Chain A
Amino acid sequence: MADLSVLTGGRAGDGINSAGLLVSHLFNRMGYYTYMYFDYPSLIKGGHNFTITRAADIPIGACREQVDVVLALNQDTIDLHRDLMHDRTVVIFDSGKAAADGQGVPVQEVLKEEQAPEVMGNSCMIGALAGATGIPFTVVEEAFRKQIPRGLDKNLAVARKGYASVKQVFRVERRGQEPFPLLSGNEAIGLGLLHGGLDAFVAYPMTPTSNLLHFLAGVAEDHPLTVVHPENEISVILMAHGLAYAGKRTAVGTSGGGFCLMTESFSMAGTNEVPLVVVMGQRTGPSTGLPTYTGQSDLHFMLHAGQGEFPRLVVAPGDIMQACAWSARALSLAWSCQVPAIILVDKTLCEGITPLLEGAFPDLPDGERPAAPQGGPYRRYAITDSGISPMLHPPVPGSAVKANSYIHDEAGITTESGDVTVLMTGKRLRKGETLGRETGFLDPVVSFGSDGAPTTLLCWGSTLPVCREVAGRLGIRGVQPVVLSPFPDEQLKAALSGTERVIAVEENALGQLRMLCARYGIAVDAAVLKFDGRPFAVEELERRLAEVA
């Protein structure tokens, strides 16, 4: 199996993320599946940033523990990552900024010769990477033409000199696969929401979902989409309430701290039945925690956030395919079932970059708009068998549309009647049952690996790709509930039937999915937990599994 990892490192502010993405595009154009991990501290300039681009001939979504090539834009990249290097790791470095055993690239001299600005130094290093790994220069040209059309000629001239400055160490074989679109999880979520009919997106910047805000703000420049960045997260979710009440399919984006501020209005969506979608990107907590690192410690917070009892949709996609599909479905289900929905992701998924393969955009039911009321005033909260009342938005001629955060009657007028409270609680619970039936048709539990093997990995969210790869290597099974509320306990029990040993793999300290399973009588025999803010590497997970075998 072809499998190559390239670490690109430099100072924050040196464009490391863009450089790593270009490395990914080179391998994408060579016909490989790629995965890019981006590691950065919470500062703007000067700290150490690095990316790891991994290329393989099977779809991947996790890093290996060691890298085969180091592309060093500074000395730190060599000094800080010795533990990731093996005997034959090739080090390519900017000879003006670093010294090492390997191939030096005279970046400053090249820039001077070409009278190119400092920022084009990365192009020189990428050219050198292509030269050292035997990637034809035409592939560099194609990638640059598509990804950095501005200053193309000069960038290519600089890259060509970088290409010629090194000797070829090995040769990456070209595979016959057409290049895929390379997307971050944030972008996949954004496209899924657009596919689901998104009209408006409201957010206050917070890692790891800020780039979703940036992406959709860019889309809104020339597409019919309203994007707002208001004063705080409280305003964010309330603007979303107003937009959705008036008929616009709306989502908000945040992380745990921002969602804390939103919970009061999240609960309001439970009672006023305004459809809301929250994209919730987890990072290492509690509180500010490790702002730019990953974690899966907010599952129970999402399941229980907000006072009172009300149905909610919580979906936790595991890769960008699922992120795209389930973002579209979450928006669709929030509106068809009139419930608040959470798309629960994390830094690993939001900011990791992988190819979007075919089939990410699901067919969605047409949202039918109920007819205007006949022979009587409109009742926004009419009692129905499904629990779902016809939802209209102002203006409705001849009728007032009343949304209310208090317990209310069918017309939306406040009541303190115990009987009406019981009726409306029943209506809410029936909505939850309807939502459970709807999600049941959508494969809420995903199985992978060797069917019938005695050991099963149980994972959720962004640990899916590493579990899928490890299950493949070890010949074991894997199961991932994508929907976490309403909890698909029947489907999960069916998926786990016949297994002898279930091992939960989670990036939190308490084993939150395991706790959730226990509530439904689903036994988990062991847990492999990680909570240092970094995602599992492939070999690391294998080793940890061996410890609990």
Chain B
Amino acid sequence: MSPQTLITGARNTWCPGCGNFTIQFALRNAIQKLVDGGVPLETIVLVTGIGCHAKMADYLNINSFYSIHGRTIPVATGIKLANPDLTVLCCAGDGDAYAEGLDHLIFAAKRNSDITVIIHNNRVYGLTTGQYTPTSPLGFRGRSTPGGTIEAPFNPLSLMLTSGAGFIARGTTRRMKELEALISQGLKHHGFAFIDVLQICASYFNASELYDRQGYALSGHDPADFDAACRKAEEWDYNTDSPIAFGLIYRKEKPVFEAQFAHRRVSVAGRAEQIAKILDAKR
């Protein structure tokens, strides 16, 4: 199979220069690597939210569940619960995962659901034409905040560290090879994998210059060291002009949510027999 067959014939409607193209090709290559490594393509499932990122469901020729805004993660957990043999990943926007559906992100980290979540974090609402998101810098002038935002962004990496995520990484669409490697690592991680991707929005928030100037690839960092991971996460607050690390921030293996359902005692009796037994106890 050639990587080309992973792309559908659907007409691509992202803006010229959109960061989503980089994520699409990085993801395609990571999926191709999985397939080359023996994972059947039909066992890979993508869940997307609503927004520019979500068109990935139409553009990748793999199983997909094109969900509603903010609601990728519980669908993905349901799919993984139904069939633990599937590899399940989410593409979600920062509006999806950090605003509309933040609760699900925190709980997926807490329960260590065995899914990979890629956040297309362009720090702006693109499809609704340019409003601020939870990670827009303070003072961001969007169409709903013409005078500039009055709330500072939150830091998704710190949030994930506090929530118990076992795989936390940050990439950027300005560094595709590194991004592809992070996605590959995330897909192979046994448990919840979170990848915040600083993506440029060519139309409403092109932060290329910032990510090129302040960005650097992590080296000499021990992702097993929680305290070091916290310090690294706090180095940049998604607001001020400080160095921005890209790479694997934290990694720890923990018991996987879905796997624990399989460990239950299960009787071999048929359904009718089970019902009869329950009824008899109620007499």
Interface pair A245/B42, CB less than 8 Å apart: no
Cα distance A404–B54 when bound, in Å? Answer: 11
Cα distance A248–B282 when bound, in Å? Answer: 28
Cα distance A221–B263 when bound, in Å? Answer: 10
Contact among A222, A268, A398 for B68, CB-based, below 8 A: A268
Contacts of B50 in A (CB 8 A): 405
Cα distance A484–B28 when bound, in Å? Answer: 47
What's the least CB distance linking B104 to chain A, in Å? 6
Contact among B61, B66, B67, B280 for A238, CB-based, below 8 A: B67
Given A230-B74, A234-B74, residue A245 in contact with residue B43 (CB < 8 A): no
Contacts of A191 in B (CB 8 A): 275, 278-279
Contacts of A398 in B (CB 8 A): 42
Given A230-B107, A356-B279, residue A241 in contact with residue B264 (CB < 8 A): no
Interface pair B271/A194, CB less than 8 Å apart: yes
Contacts of A182 in B (CB 8 A): 282-283
| Chain B residue nearest in CB terms to A324 | B275
Interface pair B75/A394, CB less than 8 Å apart: no
Cα distance A146–B107 when bound, in Å? Answer: 41
Given A224-B266, A242-B79, A246-B79, residue A235 in contact with residue B42 (CB < 8 A): no
Contacts of B86 in A (CB 8 A): 246, 394-395
Given A246-B86, A394-B45, A402-B57, residue A235 in contact with residue B40 (CB < 8 A): no
Contacts of B62 in A (CB 8 A): 400
Query: Beta-carbon contacts of A200-229 to B below 8 Å, as 1s and 0s?
Result: 101000000000000000011111101010
Q: State whether the Cβ of A518 lies closer than 8 Å to any Cβ in chain B.
A: no
Given A235-B103, A235-B107, A405-B68, residue A226 in contact with residue B261 (CB < 8 A): yes
Q: State whether the Cβ of A503 lies closer than 8 Å to any Cβ in chain B.
A: no
What's the least CB distance linking A221 to chain B, in Å? 7
Interface pair A235/B68, CB less than 8 Å apart: no
Query: Beta-carbon contacts of A179-208 to B below 8 Å, as 1s and 0s?
Result: 111110001000100110101101000000
Interface pair B271/A400, CB less than 8 Å apart: no
What's the least CB distance linking B264 to chain A, in Å? 7
Q: State whether the Cβ of A418 lies closer than 8 Å to any Cβ in chain B.
A: no
Interface pair B74/A181, CB less than 8 Å apart: no
What's the least CB distance linking A98 to chain B, in Å? 31
Q: State whether the Cβ of B10 lies closer than 8 Å to any Cβ in chain A.
A: yes
Cα distance A178–B78 when bound, in Å? Answer: 43
Contact among A181, A235, A404 for B279, CB-based, below 8 A: A181
Contacts of B203 in A (CB 8 A): none
| Chain B residue nearest in CB terms to A239 | B78
What's the least CB distance linking A177 to chain B, in Å? 12
Interface pair B274/A194, CB less than 8 Å apart: yes
Given A187-B282, A394-B42, residue A414 in contact with residue B79 (CB < 8 A): no
Q: State whether the Cβ of B64 lies closer than 8 Å to any Cβ in chain A.
A: yes
Contacts of B283 in A (CB 8 A): 28, 146, 179-182
| Chain B residue nearest in CB terms to A29 | B283
Contacts of A180 in B (CB 8 A): 283
Cα distance A272–B282 when bound, in Å? Answer: 40
Cα distance A332–B61 when bound, in Å? Answer: 31
Contacts of B91 in A (CB 8 A): none
Interface residues of B in 57-93 (CB under 8 A from A): 57-58, 61-68, 71, 74-83, 85-86
Interface residues of A in 229-261 (CB under 8 A from B): 230-232, 234-236, 238-248, 250
Contacts of A400 in B (CB 8 A): 42, 61-64
Interface pair A413/B42, CB less than 8 Å apart: no
| Chain B residue nearest in CB terms to A191 | B275
Interface pair A265/B63, CB less than 8 Å apart: no
Q: State whether the Cβ of A399 lies closer than 8 Å to any Cβ in chain B.
A: yes
Interface pair A246/B265, CB less than 8 Å apart: no
What's the least CB distance linking B197 to chain A, in Å? 22
Q: State whether the Cβ of B55 lies closer than 8 Å to any Cβ in chain A.
A: yes
Q: State whether the Cβ of A406 lies closer than 8 Å to any Cβ in chain B.
A: yes
Q: State whether the Cβ of A361 lies closer than 8 Å to any Cβ in chain B.
A: yes
Interface pair A231/B82, CB less than 8 Å apart: no
Contacts of B265 in A (CB 8 A): 221-222
Contact among B57, B66, B83 for A246, CB-based, below 8 A: B83
Interface residues of A in 399-440 (CB under 8 A from B): 399-406, 408, 412-414
| Chain B residue nearest in CB terms to A411 | B8
Cα distance A183–B81 when bound, in Å? Answer: 30
Contacts of A219 in B (CB 8 A): 274, 278
Q: State whether the Cβ of B267 lies closer than 8 Å to any Cβ in chain A.
A: yes
Cα distance A226–B271 when bound, in Å? Answer: 14
Centre residue among A202, A272, A394 by max chain B CB count within 10 A = A394
Centre residue among B66, B107, B266 by max chain A CB count within 10 A = B66
Interface pair A246/B78, CB less than 8 Å apart: yes
Q: 9 tightest A-B contacts by CB?
A: A242-B78, A246-B82, A238-B74, A181-B282, A395-B42, A239-B78, A242-B75, A242-B79, A404-B66
**Assuming A235-B107, A246-B82, what are 18 further A-B pairs, CB within 8 angstroms?**
A146-B283, A181-B283, A187-B282, A195-B272, A220-B264, A228-B81, A230-B77, A230-B107, A242-B47, A242-B80, A246-B78, A246-B79, A248-B82, A250-B78, A356-B279, A356-B282, A395-B85, A403-B66
Q: Which residues in A have some Cβ–Cβ distance to B below 8 Å?
A: 28, 146, 179-183, 187, 191, 194-195, 197, 199-200, 202, 219-224, 226, 228, 230-232, 234-236, 238-248, 250, 264-265, 268, 272, 356, 361, 394-406, 408, 412-414
Q: Which residues in B have some Cβ–Cβ distance to A below 8 Å?
A: 8, 10, 40, 42-43, 45, 47, 50, 55, 57-58, 61-68, 71, 74-83, 85-86, 103-104, 107, 261, 264-267, 271-272, 274-275, 278-283
Q: List 16 A-B contacts (CB under 8 A).
A: A195-B272, A222-B264, A230-B77, A239-B74, A240-B78, A241-B74, A242-B65, A242-B82, A395-B43, A397-B42, A398-B42, A402-B63, A402-B66, A405-B68, A412-B66, A414-B58
